[in-house]
């Protein structure tokens, strides 16, 4: 393998390089950077900027949709500290995230048709918190299946009837959890 030879031409800011048998001209920028190196750097920076800006835009949009979608897909209902460490459940975290949006009521209502029974209960708790009129409208028109829903309370996991949990939401038993600071 032959080494690249550096030869100066008699023109200022221009150098002739030979790589093997193929000579090519490369212009020099102040500071000794070659045009090809400058162009490569600019292309890399431009490409990285475009990619990062696209990821930033889509990450904001998808995180909102993801929280509402994840809430609707919840497999269990859990408020307060759960597990041995007493951490906030993913469902409660998603509900809190959705409730921070200015259009929380619309997002919750849009997620309702695709929600699991546990997701439906989370959505009802959220609507009760942010839009009582929408909550009452959904509550009155909601089908009341006989399904059992997995409920996590502390370290205990149990199955409770959907209708019983719906009654607890109507009585406001879950309202206090969202008033507390997140853990």
- Retrieve residue 100's tokens: 């921070």
Per-residue pLDDT of 82-100, as tens digits, reads 888 888 899 999 999 999 9
Residue 99 domain flag: yes
Co-location of 44 and 97 in the same domain: no
Instruction: Judge whether residue 17 has pLDDT over 80.
Output: no
Residue 63 domain flag: no
Share above pLDDT 90 across residues of the chain, in percent, rounded to a whole number: 45
Co-location of 98 and 160 in the same domain: yes
Co-location of 14 and 100 in the same domain: no
Residue 169 domain flag: yes
Distance (Å, rounded) from C-alpha 121 to C-alpha 110? 14
Q: For 24-33, 114-123, 168-177, which range has the lowest pLDDT when averaged over its residues? A: 24-33
Domain interval for residue 147:
68-179
Residue 27 domain flag: yes
Co-location of 109 and 160 in the same domain: yes
Co-location of 115 and 174 in the same domain: yes
Per-residue pLDDT of 21-77, as tens digits, reads 555 555 555 665 555 665 677 777 777 766 666 554 444 444 556 888 899 999 999
Tell me what pLDDT residue 61 has.
43
Tell me the average pLDDT across 106-110. Answer: 94
Q: Where are the beta strands (DSSP E) in the chain?
A: 5-8, 14-19, 22-27, 76-82, 87-88, 148-154, 156-161
């Amino acid at each position: 393998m032959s080494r690249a030879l550096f030869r100066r031409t008699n023109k200022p800011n221009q150098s002739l390089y030979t790589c093997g048998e193929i000579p090519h001209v490369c212009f020099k920028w102040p500071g000794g950077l070659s045009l090809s190196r400058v162009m490569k750097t600019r292309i890399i920076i431009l490409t990285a900027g475009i990619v990062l800006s696209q990821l930033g835009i889509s990450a904001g949009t998808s995180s909102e949709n993801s929280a509402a979608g994840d809430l609707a897909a919840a497999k269990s209902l859990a408020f307060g500290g759960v597990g041995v460490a007493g951490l906030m459940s993913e469902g409660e975290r998603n509900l809190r995230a959705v409730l921070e949006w200015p259009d929380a009521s619309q997002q919750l209502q849009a997620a309702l048709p695709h929600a699991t029974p546990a997701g439906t209960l989370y959505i009802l708790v959220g609507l009760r918190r942010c839009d009582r009129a929408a909550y009452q409208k959904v509550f009155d028109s909601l089908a009341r299946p006989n399904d059992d829903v997995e409920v996590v309370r502390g370290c205990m996991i149990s199955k409770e009837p959907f209708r019983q949990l719906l009654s607890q939401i109507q009585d406001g038993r879950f309202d206090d959890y969202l008033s507390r600071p997140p853990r």
